[in-house]
């Protein structure tokens, strides 16, 4: 399988470990990635929160470039995935404003978006039944005894008519992947409750309350760590646990795939975490 | 003189919001599942369900001046749960755009300052530049000491790039931003 890779701004800075681990996992599973040439910021929450034109035009420029590259485009950041998917959906649905903006972009770039490619998230790419079999086969260090909860956040599964690869409030794709690695995935009710990441700098106190609730509930569910598929959720949960007595590490699901696949580089990814995940994994090593 | 002249329904605001957001505000029958599911309800004044009521009443100034529109994170839980297919996140996107265009002080100036700081770096470089966003935000809000310890940890762990990523065809992004300014109603 060949895909165009859209890392997005976070994976080039705060979420470098997500970037590396995603590329490692894809390489291991035979998914060929080629980074989108000259990609721009998708606008994230800030564009749709303040200007509709930017909210459509910024992701659409990337879609036009990806369409020229000829393959489906994969975005690991939930916010990027959501904005790209929303712009793609608007063009497919012949939304009036999106058609006008598409024409404006044709004037600026000399090409417009024809919606001939698909926007995909790594969970969607790696969570198929065929891929789950491959994943099980690649495990050299099973995550036996590691108790986790999966955290999807808000943007991966909503709005349900636009992103539509899993249930909007009870998704299971990440659960299946972590189970295939040998981990014990705990049940909880907070898989898609928002962590407030988009307002972490501006409404810090309110966001710390949201984070505290998630971590407390994860602990109550019996988890040792929370697993994320979004760089905004991960960094927010990793840095805003001030109200928590015993902070809980926050993994990217691709990091845990790398650990289970025996990636030499996994130590480097995990060193970037603010809450040290080593103790949780050390217990795992002893259990072997 | 007709005595009923003062109580004509004020539909203009409702109709404008419905047209721009594509959301059927009129269908709301106040079941309050949106407020029940909203993670930020505890801080909102008014609740998002009451915001819909105020839009129906034509209370434009109170709606645009509320903190509700700036505390909405855009998580779309309200939209996923509404029995009438109303996504309040989409309405809040329109309301924030109108509030900024009005030139009045935002209901939560810090949120507005963050969005503007972030987009300023995107306009400049084509990609977001976190260190730049943080710097601009601190200037706009005079919150110089916030998260200093955390910032130092980020630098120590090499999690924050000190220099921006720039794209080659940055001119295209500048033209997109110019068009976006022209498109504001």
Q: At what angle do helices B88-101 and B12-21 cross, to 10 degrees?
A: 110
| Nearest C-alpha neighbor of A216 from the set A190, A235, A238 | A190
Confidence (pLDDT) at A288: 46
CB atoms within 10 A of CB A100: 13
CA A132 to the chain's CA centroid: 18
Give per-residue pLDDT as tens, A220-269: 999 999 999 999 999 999 999 988 999 999 999 999 999 999 999 999 99
Q: CA-to-CA distance for B90 and A62, rounded, in angstroms? A: 22
| Average pLDDT, integer, range B4-18 | 84
Does the beta carbon of A43 lie under 8 angstroms from any beta carbon of chain B?
Answer: yes
Give per-residue pLDDT as tens, A142-176: 999 999 999 999 999 999 999 989 999 999 999 99
Q: Which residue of A has its CA nearest to B111?
A: A202
Give per-residue pLDDT as tens, A93-121: 999 999 999 999 999 999 999 999 999 99
Q: CA-to-CA distance for B47 and B68, rounded, in angstroms? A: 7
Q: CB–CB of B74 and A154 under 8 A?
A: yes
| Average pLDDT, integer, range A21-27 | 98
Considering the domain delimited by A141-287, tell me its CATH architecture: 3-Layer(aba) Sandwich (3.40)
- Domain A2-120, CATH 1.10.10.10 — does that match? no
Does the beta carbon of A216 lie under 8 angstroms from any beta carbon of chain B?
Answer: no
Does the beta carbon of A133 lie under 8 angstroms from any beta carbon of chain B?
Answer: no
Residue A6 burial (C-beta neighbours within 10 Å; 0-12, 13-18, 19+) = buried
Task: Output the CA torsion sign for B58, B62, B68, B71.
Answer: positive
Q: Which of B106, B180, B182 to mutate to test the interface with A (most CBs of A within 10 A)?
A: B180
Question: Tokens 């949201």 identify what position?
Answer: A210
Nearest chain A Cα distance for residue B57, angstroms: 24
Q: CA-to-CA distance for A95 and A52, rounded, in angstroms? A: 13
The better pLDDT of the pair A133, B143 is held by A133
For residue B176, give the nearest of A14, A61, A194 by CB distance: A61
Cβ-contact B35, B89 below 8 angstroms: no
Average pLDDT across chain A, whole number: 96
DSSP state at residue A219: H
Task: Output the CA torsion sign for B37, B40, B42, B46.
Answer: negative
And the tokens for A45?
A: 């929450």
Give per-residue pLDDT as tens, B60-69: 999 999 999 9
- Domain map of chain A by residue range? 2-120, 141-287
Give per-residue pLDDT as tens, A179-224: 999 999 999 999 999 999 999 999 999 999 999 999 999 999 999 9
Cβ-contact A91, A102 below 8 angstroms: yes
**Which element (helix H / strand E) includes A73?**
strand A73-74
Confidence (pLDDT) at A133: 98
Does the beta carbon of A158 lie under 8 angstroms from any beta carbon of chain B?
Answer: yes
CB atoms within 10 A of CB A64: 19
Q: CB–CB of B161 and A55 under 8 A?
A: no
Q: In which band, very low, low, confident or very high, does the pLDDT at A53 lie, cut at 50, 70 and 90?
A: very high
Does the beta carbon of A108 lie under 8 angstroms from any beta carbon of chain B?
Answer: yes
Confidence (pLDDT) at B44: 95
Residue B96 pLDDT more than 50? yes
CB atoms within 10 A of CB A62: 26
**List of residues 6+ apart from B8 with CB closer than 8 A:** none
User: How large is the ipTM?
Assistant: 0.94
Q: What is the pTM of this model?
A: 0.95
For residue A199, give the nearest of B73, B126, B169 by CB distance: B73
And the tokens for A186?
A: 């705990």
Q: In which band, very low, low, confident or very high, does the pLDDT at B160 lie, cut at 50, 70 and 90?
A: confident
Confidence (pLDDT) at A283: 75
Q: In which band, very low, low, confident or very high, does the pLDDT at B2 lie, cut at 50, 70 and 90?
A: low
**DSSP string for residues in chain B:** --GGGGG----HHHHHHHHHH---GGG-----HHHHH-TTGGG-SS-HHHHHHHHHHT-HHHHHH-SHHHH-----HHHHH-TT---HHHHHHHHHHHHHHTTSPPSSHHHHHHHHHHHHHHHHHSS--HHHHHHHHHHHHT-TTTTHHHHHHHHHTT-S-SS----TTHHHHHHHHHHHHHH--
Does the beta carbon of A56 lie under 8 angstroms from any beta carbon of chain B?
Answer: no
């Amino acid at each position: 399988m060949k895909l165009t890779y859209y890392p997005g701004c976070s994976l080039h800075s705060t979420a470098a470990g997500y970037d590396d681990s995603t590329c490692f996992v894809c390489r291991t599973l035979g998914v060929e990635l080629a980074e989108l040439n000259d990609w721009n910021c998708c606008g994230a929450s800030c564009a749709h929160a303040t200007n509709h034109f930017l909210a459509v035009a910024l992701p659409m420029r990337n879609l036009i470039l990806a369409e020229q590259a000829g393959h489906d485009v994969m975005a690991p950041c939930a916010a990027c995935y959501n904005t790209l998917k929303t712009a793609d959906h608007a063009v497919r649905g012949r939304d009036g404003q999106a058609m006008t903006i598409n024409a404006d972009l044709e004037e600026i770039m000399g090409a417009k978006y024809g919606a001939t490619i698909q926007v995909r998230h790594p969970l969607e790419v790696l969570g198929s039944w065929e891929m789950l079999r491959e994943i099980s086969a690649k495990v050299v260090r099973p995550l036996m005894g590691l108790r986790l909860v999966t955290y999807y956040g808000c943007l991966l599964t909503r709005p349900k008519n636009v992103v539509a690869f899993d249930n909007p409030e009870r998704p299971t794709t990440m659960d299946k992947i972590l189970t295939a690695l040998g981990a014990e995935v705990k049940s909880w009710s907070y898989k898609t409750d928002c962590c407030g990441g988009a307002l972490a700098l501006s409404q810090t106190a309110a966001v710390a309350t949201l984070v505290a609730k998630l971590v407390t509930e994860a602990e109550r569910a019996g988890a040792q760590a929370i697993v994320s598929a979004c760089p905004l959720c991960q960094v927010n949960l990793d840095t805003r646990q001030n109200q928590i007595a015993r902070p809980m590490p926050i993994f990217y699901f691709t990091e845990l795939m790398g650990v289970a696949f025996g990636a030499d580089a996994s130590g480097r990814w995990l060193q970037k975490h603010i809450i040290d995940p080593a103790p949780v994994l050390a217990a795992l090593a002893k259990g072997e | 003189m007709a005595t009923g002249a003062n109580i004509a329904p004020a539909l203009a605001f409702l109709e404008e919001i419905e047209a721009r957001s594509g959301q059927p505000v009129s269908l709301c029958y106040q079941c309050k599942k949106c407020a029940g599911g909203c993670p930020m309800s505890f801080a909102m004044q008014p609740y998002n369900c009451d915001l819909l009521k105020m839009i129906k009443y034509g209370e434009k100034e109170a709606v645009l001046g509320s903190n509700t529109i700036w505390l909405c994170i855009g998580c779309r839980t309200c939209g996923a749960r509404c029995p009438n297919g109303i996504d309040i996140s989409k309405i809040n996107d329109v309301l924030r755009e109108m509030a900024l265009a009005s030139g009045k002080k935002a209901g939560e100036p810090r949120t507005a300052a963050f969005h503007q700081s972030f987009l300023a770096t995107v306009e400049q470089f084509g990609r977001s530049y976190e260190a730049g966003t943080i710097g601009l935000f601190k200037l706009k809000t005079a919150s110089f000491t916030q998260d200093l310890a955390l910032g130092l940890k980020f630098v120590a762990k090499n999690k924050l790039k000190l220099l921006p990523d720039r794209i080659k065809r940055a001119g295209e992004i500048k033209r997109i931003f110019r068009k976006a300014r022209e498109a504001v109603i």
